[in-house]
Amino acid sequence: MTEDAPRHVRPYGDTTGDGMIQLSFTLPVAPGPHAEAAAAAFAAKMGLDPAMVVHAKGVGERFTFFVVYGRSPVILDLDEVKVVEREFPLLTAKEINLKIRSRLKRRMVVVGATVGTDAHTVGLDAILNVKGFAGEKGLESYRELRVVNLGAQVDARDLVERAVSERADALLVSQVVTQRDAHLQHVREVADALTTGWPARQRRPKLLVGGPRFDPASAAALGADRVFAKGTTPREVASYLVHELPAGGPARRSR
Three-state DSSP state, 109: strand
Q: Is the distance from CB of 197 to CB of 157 less than 8 angstroms?
A: yes
Q: Is the distance from CB of 194 to CB of 160 less than 8 angstroms?
A: yes
126 binds, among another protein, ligand B12, none (CB under 5 to 8 A by kind): ligand B12
Give the separation between CA 190 and CA 178, rounded to whole angstroms.
Answer: 16
* Count of C-beta atoms within a 10 Å radius of residue 95: 14
33-92 positions binding another protein, by CB under 8 A:
57, 59-60, 62-63, 65
- The site string for another protein over 133-152 (x = CB under 8 A, - otherwise) reads ------------------xx
Which of these ranges, 1-9, 42-50, 121-129, 189-197, lies near ligand B12 under the rule CB under 6 A? 121-129
CB of 229 to ligand B12, least distance (A): 6
232 binds, among another protein, ligand B12, none (CB under 5 to 8 A by kind): ligand B12
List of E strands, 91-137: 108-114
The alpha carbon dihedral of 27, 183, 117, 123 has a sign of positive
184 binds ligand B12 (CB under 6 A): no
Residue among 57, 94, 105, 131 flagged as catalytic = 131
Give the separation between CA 100 and CA 87, rounded to whole angstroms.
Answer: 19
Give the separation between CA 190 and CA 198, rounded to whole angstroms.
Answer: 11
Binding site for another protein (CB under 8 A): 24-26, 57, 59-60, 62-63, 65, 116-119, 121-122, 151-153, 177-180, 182
Tell me which residues are annotated as active site: 131
Binding site for ligand B12 (CB under 6 A): 117-124, 126-127, 133, 172-174, 176-179, 208, 210-213, 228, 230-232, 237
